[in-house]
Chains A and B, each alone.
Chain A
Amino acid sequence: MNYFIFRNNTIERFFPKGYIFSGYDDISVIPDTADGYVWFFQLPVRINERTLCEEIRGYSEKLNLVLDQVASFKPMFLLTMDEFPSIPITSGVALKESISGYNISLFEAQKAHKNVYVLDIREFTHQYAENDLIDWKFWFISQMGLNPRLSKPFMDWFNRKLSQVSLKRKKCLVLDLDNTLWGGILGEDGINGIKLSGSYPGKAYHLFQETLKELCKNGIILTICSKNNEGEALDALDNNPFMILKKGDFSSWRINWKDKVTNIREIAEELNIGLDSMVFIDDNPSERELVRQVLPMVAVPEFPVQPYELPVFCKELVEQYFRVYSITVEDKNKNEQYRANALRTRSQRTFTDMESFLQSLNIHIRIETANEFNVPRIAQMTQKTNQFNLTTRRYSESDILSRLADGWEMYCMSVSDRFGDNGITGCILLNGYEIDSFLLSCRILGKGIESAFLKTVLTGLRDRGIQSVTAEFIPTAKNAQVAEFYDNCGFTVIEKKEDGTKAYSLDLTTADLNVKPYYSVIE
């Protein structure tokens, strides 16, 4: 990444190689070749409080000047200002006010600009004592406003924040039950004997469950993998009066005496998600080790030995795997959808042929072009979709906006059926007559919707007099299932490379673009 950083102190050591730095407190140069920008102004060292406050106010004004000039499709990260290093001679109240005024101006900039993200440095600095945050020796010899020995943890924090912004987070928690969701062992202590409320340690588990419930509300999928008797465990979930998490909060479970590796694999398959989007939580170190050894792509954090350590564990869990910049409505409904899918799988079994099953589903496909409401979702899908993704090109929200400005056409598809509304689960990005990206959420696969979507979009092009389109398949470790997709849709291969990449074209004047009658398509 080629980021350009506006700054007022020496901070080179805190950022990866390849970043470019402005002069100190200098906004005269704003290179437009940068992929993005960072704004990192630290509290200057001034003894006079009034001058100091004025200087800080000046920073807000400079920031606004810069914001007016950077391209609105390039990301810009603003770091807040912390209250160190301060040498207060007067009361310090005015200083505190101007720092908070400056930070508020950052958050306002975030509200006003789609490409602006505030990263609150206090999340990082609050872990340290003020005397550890600055080493005055390095301030005087190099104008470093932050202790150079904190560069490594700072970089970890900064990178984590950046990856949250680009939505590279986990999707699913796989939870053990005994001594994880509650204290004690259900099989021995019974439904009312397990520790979940009242005094310690029950209180600690109660708080852990509350955290998980919040994550669930925010779209994280909860599942259970536990060595227990299924009936007994489900009974405890629904009938222990202190239980926060009920059976309905879990999208899938494997409560049995089989090994956890097999169970986790099955859960991933059932929910149609990758193992690398799962986090496994278990108090038993040997279970954790087994999963780490056999399924290294599953994240397995250490679990606290003492229940009173659970709050810190919760914080780290959220921070490391599930913190995300903005949560979309689709995320919140995802749990509903995964559950409805399980219901669909069950009802599928009663039909003898696929066609009559599909007919019975009452599928409605809505296709819309890109607009201000669906752009975040389009970006999110390009970031998160791995399996049904023909080219796996990742775009941020600002990438999407800049391509739309370049004249690309983008189509989003939402699907609903008699079991529920899946929201936006597919998109096609057209760069002229080239299908740049075609992707679908795995939640809706297996119903022929993918070709109905593509054919509808292509029909629209044909009706406008366009004669042919081109497309591409780029293989990845995860998208083997779509290797033949375009071939099956009647596209002609025009080039096949050694790495498996295929280029296609399709003659729209002769192509079969008929959509099966049981899909009702709304454009």
Chain B
Amino acid sequence: MEEKILIIMKEVFGIEDIDETCSQRTCEKWDSMAHLNLVLELEDEFGISLEPEEIGIMTSFETVCQMVAKKAEK
């Protein structure tokens, strides 16, 4: 799953050099539009629906993975 998320982030942000340390604070391409596109891609890929509160805290690769894992479990 984490691999898949990394691929989605690369596609959405349009950059190749992303690793597990990526976060909204350090990644220039991760702006609000990119965040929105990321949410839509994740929802479609994993068949989940993310709530606004959840979307708000998904600010790094790590928190994205945690959230998707939690939602996909249910």
Q: Chain A: residues with CB nearer than 8 A to chain B?
A: 10, 12-13, 137-138, 140-142, 144, 148-149
Contact = CB atoms under 8 A, between A and B. Distances in A.
Nearest to B52: A141
Contacts of A13: 33, 36-37
Contacts of B33: 10, 12-13
B40 A142 contact: no
Interface in B13-57: 32-33, 36-37, 40, 51-52, 55-56
Nearest to A12: B33
Contacts of B37: 13
Contacts, number: 20
A23 B36 CA distance: 18
A148 B40 contact: yes
A113 B55 CA distance: 45
12 contacts: A12-B33, A13-B33, A13-B36, A137-B52, A138-B36, A140-B52, A141-B36, A141-B52, A141-B55, A141-B56, A142-B36, A144-B36
A340 to B, nearest CB: 55
A149 B40 contact: yes
A149 B40 CA distance: 8
Contacts of B51: 137
Nearest to B40: A148
Contacts of A142: 32, 36
B35 to A, nearest CB: 9
A149 B36 CA distance: 11
Nearest to A140: B52
A149 B33 CA distance: 14
A434 to B, nearest CB: 41
Given A10-B33, A142-B36, 13 more contacts: A10-B36, A12-B33, A13-B37, A137-B52, A138-B36, A140-B52, A141-B36, A141-B52, A141-B55, A141-B56, A142-B32, A144-B36, A148-B40
A141 B32 CA distance: 10
Interface residues of B, number: 9
Nearest to A138: B36
Contacts of B40: 148-149
Interface centre among B36, B37, B55 (most CB of A within 10 A): B36
A144 B52 CA distance: 14
Interface centre among A141, A142, A144, A149 (most CB of B within 10 A): A141
Nearest to B53: A141
A137 B56 CA distance: 12
A149 B49 CA distance: 13
A144 to B, nearest CB: 8
Nearest 8 CB-CB pairings of A with B: A141-B52, A12-B33, A142-B36, A148-B40, A141-B55, A137-B52, A140-B52, A13-B37
Contacts of A140: 52
Nearest to A142: B36
B58 to A, nearest CB: 12
Contacts of B52: 137, 140-141
B44 to A, nearest CB: 8
A148 B38 CA distance: 12
Contacts of A141: 36, 52, 55-56
A276 to B, nearest CB: 32
B72 to A, nearest CB: 19
A220 to B, nearest CB: 40
B17 to A, nearest CB: 20
Contacts of A148: 36, 40
A137 B55 CA distance: 11
A291 to B, nearest CB: 36
B34 to A, nearest CB: 10
Contacts of A137: 51-52
A142 B39 CA distance: 12
A149 B32 CA distance: 17
B9 to A, nearest CB: 17
B57 to A, nearest CB: 13
A51 to B, nearest CB: 26
Contacts of B36: 10, 13, 138, 141-142, 144, 148
A16 to B, nearest CB: 13
A63 B55 CA distance: 35
A148 B55 CA distance: 15
A130 B56 CA distance: 27
A351 to B, nearest CB: 64
B36 to A, nearest CB: 5
Contacts of A149: 40
A148 B36 CA distance: 9
A137 to B, nearest CB: 6
